[in-house]
Structure 1
């Protein structure tokens, strides 16, 4: 799931650009199509090859753009709870971060989330926040297909650690926080952790 997180975050990042957007949108398309197949059957070489291409596109996007809020929040989760894999933490956090960005985002951010929803199979009639929320649905559907529709509580994460996790995010992940398309405060991050429980 880290590949999808890189792609969707770099797409909406403040550092995105037309080349990054091209890489990200194609990568998102490949992940939706091939990640469930690769997950179901590790011997499916076509699926694995296309996931490798998606991962390469995500890597290229990272060169000129930057991941944002889900990555900034996920690394402290794994630091405080080392048994939580990076992809698991991202799976637990991404949808609430998307909702936050859509609700507070500008037209460009909303349009990009609509594109994710469209690629994921949703009918998008206009670039509105309501339509953009469909991007959360397609990500949840993907997570269901790969048995990763999880919450932080599933890993034993405790609210008493949120303050420390926020301090960690701002001290070690300031770049992704600043790249987020919407300004975010420490209080916002605590609320997002709570909503991801």
Structure 2
């Protein structure tokens, strides 16, 4: 039993918690507020509410509203330039994982020279150390998917090189995060499902990762249990605040998993898909891969899959031991059907079978580190086979 534990983020969790921003000690007096290029933050009044709450503390807000669903390096560099030009002393990510991830990356580049890819360790990144510090980060999440409010990780795509790579340092943990499920009531059913499954796979991969710990297992298995019971309800009725709160808690717990264990190669494979096909929602890509991926590991980490089957309510003692891990695959398929995401097809997003070897190679080239956290040393041929089986 050997692990380290470090999650320094102060988290305000629960319905109505956004209002407490008026009284929280903030890390500066001028914030760059990073939101998506869509309309939801403005149309739902979330941006105005945040700006108003900042004003009660005499904190000025500069809004940067260009972030894409799969965020890109160009916008990181643009946001960092604005933060420097306007003299912003901290960054707020308001919205989903793309906005909060971008805020983290902008916070890095606002204080460090050169190009963002200079600091990325995979693909064509140069892997330079971040020596100039990072602007303090505040995360206000309006979705339940990435857990980025509770971990240091940010995922950005180099749009010219088809490289989608995770990055983080201890300084990219948010100093403050607000998780208010009332802000999630407006997320449409399809996105609720995609985001919820992203959180699910953060937990599930954290369980099968070879660096899982007793602490990460506690977080991960509870997250899986909550999503299994509450995600279908949140998809069916977005106004169900109890279901939204349970899904939000599962998501934050999955962020804790990301800070105490890790994703595995499933995320590497999906990053390759959405690096080449940026209109593919990350959660949708994971859903497509998931049954083939976890079936591959059923005989390689059987006790781990059995734990997850139990968390999803399966009576593992009702079947012979060799079938116990397969009950997790069964429960996963049932959950996807309940959430209406059991018929997703890669071809719907323009992915062709001829692409598969290229995509698998990209996963190794850009996010190869996650393959080292698998409990079995996957080969390129294994990865190709998994994607082929997932392809529909």
TM range (shorter): over 0.9
Instruction: Kindly indicate whether structure 1 or structure 2 has the higher relative contact order, using CA contacts under 8 Å at least 6 residues apart.
Output: 1
Q: TM-score, normalised by structure 2?
A: 0.48
Higher helix share: 1
1:174 is matched with which residue? 368
Identify which of 317, 334, 337 aligns with 1:141.
Answer: 334
Q: Distance in 2 between matches of 1:34 and 1:53?
A: 11
Identify which of 179, 200, 224 aligns with 1:4.
Answer: 200
Q: Distance in 2 between matches of 1:48 and 1:83?
A: 25
Which moves more between the two structures, 7-16 or 113-122? 113-122
Q: Distance in 1 between matches of 2:309 and 2:352?
A: 32
How far apart are residue 162 of structure 1 and its match?
Answer: 1.4
1:130 and 2:323 matched: yes
Task: Please show how residues 1-197 of structure 1 align to structure 2 within 5 Å.
Answer: 1-103=197-299, 105=300, 109-125=301-317, 128-149=321-342, 150-197=344-391
How far apart are residue 154 of structure 1 and its match?
Answer: 4.0
Q: Distance in 1 between matches of 2:265 and 2:345?
A: 17
Q: Residue 23 and residue 94 in structure 1: after superposition, are their counterparts in 2 closer, same or farther (change >3 A)? A: same
Higher strand share: 2
Which moves more between the two structures, 23-32 or 160-169? 160-169
Counterpart secondary structure, 2:383: helix
Q: How many residues align?
A: 193
Q: Distance in 2 between matches of 1:41 and 1:27?
A: 20
* Bigger Rg, structure 1 or 2: 2
Q: Residue 164 and residue 101 in structure 1: after superposition, are their counterparts in 2 closer, same or farther (change >3 A)? A: same
Gap runs ≥5 in structure 1? none
Gap runs ≥5 in structure 2? 1-196
Q: TM-score, normalised by structure 1?
A: 0.93
Is the Cα–Cα contact under 8 Å of residues 222 and 311 in structure 2 kept in the other structure? no
How far apart are residue 129 of structure 1 and its match?
Answer: 3.4
